[in-house]
């Protein structure tokens, strides 16, 4: 399992790429890409890139945890 080097949402950049999603969630890069292609995940397509706004990622994580902070 990957280990996150981030200790809070404040440490994250405004937009996350697949590599950061992978590190933060502790999943493989392939799993991060798969997640980013899910229609329920808050990914934004910018040309050929896919990024995730930090605030929407934080909200998504909280929803996955049943609203817990």
pTM, rounded to two decimals: 0.82
Q: What is the pLDDT of residue 68?
A: 63
**The CATH number fitting domain 9-64, selected from 3.40.50, 3.90.105, 3.30.200, 1.10.40:** 3.90.105
**pLDDT tens, residue by residue, 51-65:** 999 999 999 999 999
The beta-carbon contacts of 18-21 under 8 Å, at least 24 apart in sequence, are 18/50, 21/52, 21/57
**pLDDT tens, residue by residue, 5-52:** 778 889 899 999 999 999 999 999 999 999 999 999 999 999 999 999
What DSSP letter does each residue of 11-68 carry, written as one string? GS-SEE-HHHHHHHHT--HHHHHHHHTSTTS--EEETTEEEEEHHHHHHHHHHHTTT-
């Amino acid at each position: 399992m990957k280990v996150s080097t981030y200790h809070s949402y404040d440490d994250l950049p405004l937009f996350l790429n697949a590599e950061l999603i992978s590190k933060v969630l502790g999943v493989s890069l392939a799993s991060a890409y798969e997640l980013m292609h899910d229609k329920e995940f808050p990914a934004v397509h910018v040309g050929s890139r896919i990024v995730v706004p930090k605030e929407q990622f934080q909200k998504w994580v909280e929803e996955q945890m049943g609203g817990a902070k």
